[in-house]
């Protein structure tokens, strides 16, 4: 059988798709655009993600049925709504929950709903699965955990993905070695909050990082999704001291105001954030900081939003992603009072992103003339493109590359010019 996978949402979902692909390949099936079966791995984090997932399913259903292909739906939409989807989306041949990924090679040929409603509680659901990496060298993701115990008031992840389940450190190390053997050199460690790794009895993130850094090889590790309350001095010392850990910290704050942070159940204060970012900038002068903020959360006043803007202006994050609060059924925040209107949320979103564009432009200007590593990713009509090592895949700007290079290389280059979010890099012969 030939199959195709459409993977929506975050890199964690992409890794799930890669484990399904690995299982299918091991059973003798072939990844191909001319597929006998199409698998849509959905996202359901917020309402917009659910809408995108459903739109994608319906688009794929029209093509699949016209061409005699089967359509299988997996992922967070299945975890969130379970067997209800059989009635809502009769166009789909089969729905596969995460606890059934280990049988995906059999289930692509069956009908109906497969798996319990709700997530598998164990990270071991992927530890036993082979993996076919769907990104191309030198970049790959390495998922170190499943689920989350933070219970933020607005978040559906624990109800979809379950509680924290850290992967066995030996399994993570073995997967790193496998990725290196396949030619991957930029290894992005991911999880809902990787600072919480091991709190369920498998050590801690510092121990895991030391174990992975003991692996011999020419590679770089990027740490994505660091919860502010999980970053301590020992972790910062480790990041600062290790050359193979990219000095790029993705630390979602969501907001700056104490009463909103308390309502969100984030576990820190504005003073705590000021202390943290001051400490990071003091210890790693050239560190790149990325954050995420939420606008329009219940109870956010104009003064609260103005204070958030002041906080962002003070710390000048190199990269910032914003999103408007989404009222998700079943979360504590959905039952709160004081929800800003949709127009207010959109206005605040536009304002903070306009401000961030200017900040990004200023932060990038300091890189002019600096030598740095660049990852060559694509050959476009206008030339080669990629990312500097200080730009994370998919979420940050890009590098326009001048000079001789090939897709898949990691080259040393010089920042010749900077734009609002992007850079122009010159590499030598």
For the ranges 78-87, 180-189, 205-214, 380-389, which has the lowest average pLDDT? 78-87
> Tell me, what's the pLDDT at 293?
98
pLDDT in tens, 63-76: 888 888 899 999 99
As to burial, measured by CB atoms within 10 angstroms (0-12 exposed, 13-18 middle, 19+ buried), residue 235 is: middle
Residue limits of CATH 3.40.50.12160 in the chain:
2-114
Apex 288 CA angle, 284 and 291, nearest 5: 120
> Tell me, what's the pLDDT at 124?
45
Q: How many CB atoms lie within 10 A of CB 87?
A: 7
> Tell me, what's the pLDDT at 101?
84
> Tell me, what's the pLDDT at 416?
97
pTM: 0.92
Q: pLDDT band for position 113 (50/70/90)?
A: confident
Q: Decide if pLDDT at 128 tops 80.
A: no
Chain mean pLDDT for the chain: 92
Q: Decide if pLDDT at 98 tops 90.
A: no
Q: Decide if pLDDT at 116 tops 60.
A: no
Q: Decide if pLDDT at 100 tops 90.
A: no
**Distances in Å between the alpha carbon of 367 and those of 280, 371, 416?**
19, 8, 9
Q: Decide if pLDDT at 32 tops 80.
A: yes
Q: pLDDT band for position 117 (50/70/90)?
A: very low
Interhelix angle 205-213/233-241, nearest 10 degrees: 20
Q: pLDDT band for position 180 (50/70/90)?
A: very high
Q: pLDDT band for position 45 (50/70/90)?
A: confident
Q: Decide if pLDDT at 372 tops 90.
A: yes
Question: Percent of the chain having pLDDT more than 70?
Answer: 96
Residue 423 CB contacts under 8 Å (≥ 6 apart), including other chains? 364, 367, 388, 391, 397, 399, 400, 415, 417
Helix residue spans in 189-269 (DSSP H): 205-213, 233-241, 258-264
Residue 8 CB contacts under 8 Å (≥ 6 apart), including other chains? 40, 41, 42, 43, 49, 52, 53, 56, 75
For the ranges 6-10, 118-122, 310-314, which has the lowest average pLDDT? 118-122
Mean pLDDT of 140-155: 94
Asked if residue 333 lies in contact with residue 264, where contact means CB atoms within 8 angstroms, the answer is yes
Q: Decide if pLDDT at 115 tops 80.
A: no
Mean pLDDT of 202-227: 96
In the CATH scheme, what is the homologous superfamily, with its name and number, of domain 124-365? Answer: tm_1862 like domain (3.80.30.20)
Q: Decide if pLDDT at 13 tops 60.
A: yes
Report the CATH number of the 2-114 domain: 3.40.50.12160
DSSP state of 151: -
pLDDT in tens, 245-289: 999 999 999 999 999 999 999 999 999 999 999 999 999 988 999
Residue limits of CATH 3.80.30.20 in the chain:
124-365
Q: Decide if pLDDT at 350 tops 90.
A: yes
Q: What is d(CA 334, CA 298) in angstroms, rounded to the nearest whole number?
A: 8
Q: pLDDT band for position 126 (50/70/90)?
A: low
Q: Decide if pLDDT at 417 tops 50.
A: yes
> Tell me, what's the pLDDT at 63?
85
Q: How many CB atoms lie within 10 A of CB 3?
A: 23
> Tell me, what's the pLDDT at 64?
85
Q: Decide if pLDDT at 118 tops 50.
A: no
Architecture of domain 371-427: Beta Barrel (2.40)
Residue limits of CATH 2.40.50.140 in the chain:
371-427
Q: What is d(CA 84, CA 81) in angstroms, rounded to the nearest whole number?
A: 6
> Tell me, what's the pLDDT at 112?
75
Which pair of structure tokens corresponds to residue 118?
A: 């709700």
> Tell me, what's the pLDDT at 97?
87
Q: Decide if pLDDT at 208 tops 90.
A: yes
H/E stretch holding 30: strand 30-31
């Amino acid at each position: 059988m030939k199959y195709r996978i459409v993977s929506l949402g975050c890199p964690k979902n992409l890794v799930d798709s890669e484990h399904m692909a690995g299982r299918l390949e091991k059973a003798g099936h072939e990844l191909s655009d001319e597929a006998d079966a199409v698998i849509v791995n959905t996202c359901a984090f917020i309402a917009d993600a659910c809408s995108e997932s459903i739109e994608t399913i319906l688009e794929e259903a029209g093509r699949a049925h016209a061409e005699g292909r089967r359509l299988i739906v997996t992922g967070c939409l299945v975890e969130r709504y379970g067997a209800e989807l059989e009635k809502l989306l009769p166009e789909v041949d089969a729905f596969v929950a995460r606890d059934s990924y280990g049988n995906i090679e059999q289930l692509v040929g069956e009908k109906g709903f497969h798996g319990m409603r709700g997530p598998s509680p164990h990270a071991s659901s992927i530890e036993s699965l082979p993996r076919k990496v769907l990104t191309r060298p030198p970049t790959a993701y390495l998922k170190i955990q499943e689920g989350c115990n933070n219970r933020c008031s607005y978040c559906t992840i624990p109800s979809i993905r379950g509680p924290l389940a850290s992967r066995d450190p030996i399994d993570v190390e073995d997967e790193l070695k496998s990725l290196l053997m396949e030619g991957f050199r930029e290894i992005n460690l991911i999880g809902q909050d990787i600072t919480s790794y091991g709190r369920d009895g498998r050590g801690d993130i510092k121990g895991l990082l030391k174990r992975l850094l003991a692996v011999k090889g020419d590679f770089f590790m990027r740490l994505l999704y660091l919860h502010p309350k999980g970053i301590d001095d020992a972790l910062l010392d480790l990041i600062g001291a290790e050359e193979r850990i990219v000095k790029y910290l993705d630390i979602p704050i969501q907001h700056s105001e104490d009463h909103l942070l308390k309502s969100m159940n984030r576990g820190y204060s504005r003073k705590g954030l000021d202390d943290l970012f001051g400490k990071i900038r003091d210890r790693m002068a050239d560190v790149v900081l990325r954050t995420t903020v939420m606008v329009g959360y219940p109870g956010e006043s104009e003064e609260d939003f103005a204070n958030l803007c002041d906080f962002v202006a003070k710390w000048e994050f190199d990269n910032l992603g914003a999103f408007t609060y989404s009222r998700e059924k079943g979360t504590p925040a959905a039952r709160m009072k004081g929800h800003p209107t949709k127009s207010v949320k959109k206005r605040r979103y536009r304002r903070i992103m306009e401000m961030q564009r200017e900040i990004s432009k200023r932060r990038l200007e300091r890189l002019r003339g600096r030598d740095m590593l660049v990852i060559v990713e694509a050959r476009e009509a206008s030339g080669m493109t990629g990312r500097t090592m200080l730009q994370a895949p998919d979420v940050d700007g890009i590098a326009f590359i001048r000079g001789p290079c090939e897709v898949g290389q990691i080259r040393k280059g010089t920042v010749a010019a900077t734009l609002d979010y992007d850079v122009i890099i010159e590499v030598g012969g």
